Amino acid sequence: MSKKERLDKVLANMGYGSRKDVKKLIKSGRVKVNDIVTLNGETKVNPYEDNIFLDNERIIYRRYIYLMMNKPKGLVSSTDDPSFKTVVDILDQEYLIYKPFPVGRLDKDTEGLLLITNDGKLAHELLSPKKRVDKKYYVEVDGYVEEEHIRLFKEGIILDDGYKTLPSQLEIINSSIVSKVYLTIQEGKFHQVKRMFKSVGMKVLYLKRISMGNLILDENLDVGQFRELTDEEISLLKKS
């Protein structure tokens, strides 16, 4: 990590504004590199080795952030929304400078694992239909889920718009008036899980995502909490 980069580029990459904004910031004398006020945005720095300060606070350089959220009901999975609070709205300011976004969508009433990052390449790979990344859900549905459903889901379910889903894996935890199951799908069509159960005459009463690729929801995260991924989780996720 010895590459030198322009100071204005480093600050802009970290979300401190556009190149123009950060040039102004630098010109105003608020930025120091190794204890020396630097007024020139073209100054070459090694963001991992040089000590860069803004308003005397050390900036810890990193390009990407990766957060795991146990999404609560009531939040929408987007970066902004005219009517509802979003998953990004509950993040701390220290993360917002990285301009994070949720990878894929969970419905407003769905809980569970949501990856929030600013790594567009990883997001693209996880969401690409070609990659067929597994998404596992815990589902409660009204009615008895039976062996026959396992077979139907494995074959593919015809949704209300005529689309036939890819084979999916249904595991019955408990079959009852309200059944508890796990469902693993490799796609992300709009309301897919709810529509799959609707096609077999059942209503989803509760939905929670528990894994995405190699990333598993941390059971210690309460609903509404989030944390950074560990380095190990990041590298595992990249191998999904």
Chain residues in the site for ligand URA (CB under 6 A): 106-107, 110, 191-194, 207
Annotated catalytic residue 8 = no
Q: Rank residues 149 and 194 by Cβ distance to ligand URA and give the closer one.
A: 194
- Residue keyed to tokens 């407003």: 108
Nearest Cα to Cα of residue 205 among 238, 181, 231: 181
Q: Rank residues 107 and 171 by Cβ distance to ligand URA and give the closer one.
A: 107
Q: Rank residues 65 and 196 by Cβ distance to ligand URA and give the closer one.
A: 196
Phi/psi at 149 (5° precision): -65, -35
Where does 70-171 have alpha helices with state H?
93-96, 120-127, 147-155
Q: How far is the CB of 34 from ligand URA (least distance, A)?
A: 48
Q: How far is the CB of 141 from ligand URA (least distance, A)?
A: 12
What does the alpha-carbon distance between residue 240 and residue 230 come to, in Å, rounded to a whole number? 16
Q: Rank residues 33 and 75 by Cβ distance to ligand URA and give the closer one.
A: 75
Q: How far is the CB of 134 from ligand URA (least distance, A)?
A: 13
Q: How far is the CB of 110 from ligand URA (least distance, A)?
A: 3
CB atoms within 10 A of CB 11: 25
Q: Which of 107, 119, 160, 231 is catalytic?
A: 107
Separation of CA 52 from chain center = 29
E strands in the chain? 5-6, 31-33, 36-37, 44-45, 52-54, 57-58, 66-71, 101-102, 111-117, 135-142, 169-174, 178-185, 204-212, 215-216, 226-228
Residues tagged active-site:
107
